[in-house]
């Protein structure tokens, strides 16, 4: 398993955007659109995990996430692991990689929005808030000190 931090224009950028738009999770198309519109700037990154040269999953570190106008930042979001690679702790590896990168660029806290229960807590995140997402479901906002 190899995790790469991507910025616009890198060799894997378009390949990841294609993978995201075609994956089984509908949010992948939103990430792909952001990538293609060069919507990631400054320190923001897309992290892709490669297994045997194929994409097995991804996540992003961004200023904002799916709930607008929050005072929290940065966010780990768009966490997706291909069905064939689930159960191998890839989402944890992606989160830890993004956390390490966030720390290296000066952040001391990181946030994540999810409706999953008892998943991100295992990675050291604690729930700090709940907000209604634009699509109408209650989401938990998690925070982790780094």
What structural domains does the chain harbor? 2-107 (3.40.630.30)
70-75: average pLDDT: 95
How far apart (Å, rounded) are the C-alpha atoms in residues 132 and 127? 15
pLDDT value for 119: 87
Q: In what order do the strands lie in the sheet with 138-145?
A: 2-6, 45-51, 54-62, 75-81, 109-114, 138-145, 126-132
How far apart (Å, rounded) are the C-alpha atoms in residues 39 and 47? 15
pLDDT tens-digit readout, 17-58: 999 999 999 999 999 999 999 778 899 999 999 999 899 999
Please, what sign has the CA dihedral across residues 100, 96, 79, 115? Answer: negative
pLDDT value for 24: 94
**Helix (H) / strand (E) containing 113:** strand 109-114
pLDDT tens-digit readout, 97-107: 999 999 999 99
């Amino acid at each position: 398993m190899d995790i790469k931090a991507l910025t616009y224009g890198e060799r894997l950028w378009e390949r990841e955007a294609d993978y995201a738009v075609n994956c089984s999770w509908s949010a992948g198309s939103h990430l792909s659109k952001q990538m293609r519109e060069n919507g990631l700037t400054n320190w923001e990154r897309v992290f892709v995990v490669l297994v045997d040269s194929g994409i097995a999953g991804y996540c992003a570190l961004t200023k904002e996430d799916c709930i607008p106008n929050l005072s929290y930042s940065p966010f780990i979001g768009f966490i997706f692991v291909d069905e064939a690679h689930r159960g191998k702790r890839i989402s944890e590896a992606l989160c830890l990689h993004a956390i390490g990168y966030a720390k290296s660029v000066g952040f001391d806290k990181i946030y994540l929005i999810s409706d999953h229960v008892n998943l991100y807590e295992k990675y050291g995140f604690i729930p700090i808030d709940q907000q209604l997402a634009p699509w109408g479901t209650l989401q938990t906002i998690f925070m982790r000190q780094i």
